[in-house]
């Protein structure tokens, strides 16, 4: 097993554990939809999201649970295959893929056991709230931005040749 693949799996596993521990804490310590102010512009607010990002398809009747679960498992498998093929010089790409895998599987676990994803991080400004999210969502967002940056850099290298 190559070094990048092994470390990527460890990072993905760490994201899953951190995500699940914080969701368990939020579900047991917070009351549903009752904001707990932490800092100006930041609350902890327990929410349940049966849909995808920003509650997309949240009211679709239940089929979306299995669709998003299958999507998360399929994409995670594809990303793991990509991760396995990375060379030693591709650590940042390995990190990006690991964050995406860990985040996708963290939310997939919720879908399997709960039928919805537990969200609790609530940022707001001037009375406008960003949709509540969790550690898995954060890992997916950071992983996607990192992947985008790395792909842009690679594209610029190819164009310069």
pLDDT at site 50: 78
Tens digit of each residue's pLDDT (9 = 90 or more) over 107-129: 999 999 998 999 999 999 999 99
**Whole-prediction pTM:** 0.90
For residues 58 and 96, give the distance between their C-alpha atoms in angstroms, rounded to a whole number.
Answer: 27
Catalytic residue among 59, 119, 122, 155: 119
- The Cβ-side half-sphere exposure at 108, using a 13 Å CA radius, reads 21
For residues 48 and 118, give the distance between their C-alpha atoms in angstroms, rounded to a whole number.
Answer: 5
Write out the two tokens for 149.
């940056």
Look up 137 and say whether it is catalytic: yes
pLDDT at site 61: 58
- Segments in the chain forming alpha helices (H): 3-29, 63-85, 91-113, 135-160
Angle, CA 66 vertex, CA 61 and CA 68 arms, to 5° = 100
Catalytic residue among 19, 110, 122, 137: 137
Tens digit of each residue's pLDDT (9 = 90 or more) over 72-84: 999 999 999 999 9
pLDDT at site 109: 96
For residues 100 and 106, give the distance between their C-alpha atoms in angstroms, rounded to a whole number.
Answer: 10
For residues 30 and 93, give the distance between their C-alpha atoms in angstroms, rounded to a whole number.
Answer: 36
Q: Give the pLDDT band (50/70/90) at residue 159.
A: confident
Tens digit of each residue's pLDDT (9 = 90 or more) over 19-44: 999 999 999 999 999 999 999 999 99
* Neighbouring C-beta atoms of residue 146, cutoff 10 Å: 17
Look up 119 and say whether it is catalytic: yes
What average pLDDT does the structure give for the chain?
A: 91
* Neighbouring C-beta atoms of residue 73, cutoff 10 Å: 14
Residue ranges of domains in the chain: 3-27+45-160
């Amino acid at each position: 097993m190559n070094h990048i693949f092994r470390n990527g799996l460890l990072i993905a596993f760490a994201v899953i554990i951190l995500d699940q521990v914080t969701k368990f804490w939020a579900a047991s310590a917070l009351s549903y939809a009752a904001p707990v102010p932490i800092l100006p512009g930041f609350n902890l607010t327990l929410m349940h999201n049966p849909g995808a990002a920003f509650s997309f398809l949240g009211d679709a009747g239940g089929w979306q649970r299995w669709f998003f679960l299958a999507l998360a498992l399929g994409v995670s498998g594809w990303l793991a295959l990509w991760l396995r093929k990375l060379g030693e010089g591709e650590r940042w790409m390995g990190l990006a893929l690991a964050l995406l895998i860990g985040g996708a599987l963290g939310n997939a676990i919720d879908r399997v056991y709960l039928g919805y994803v537990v969200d609790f991080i609530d940022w707001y400004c001037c009375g406008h709230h960003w949709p509540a999210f969790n550690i898995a969502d954060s890992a997916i967002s950071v992983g996607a931005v990192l992947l985008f940056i790395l792909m842009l850099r690679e594209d610029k290298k190819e164009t310069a040749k």
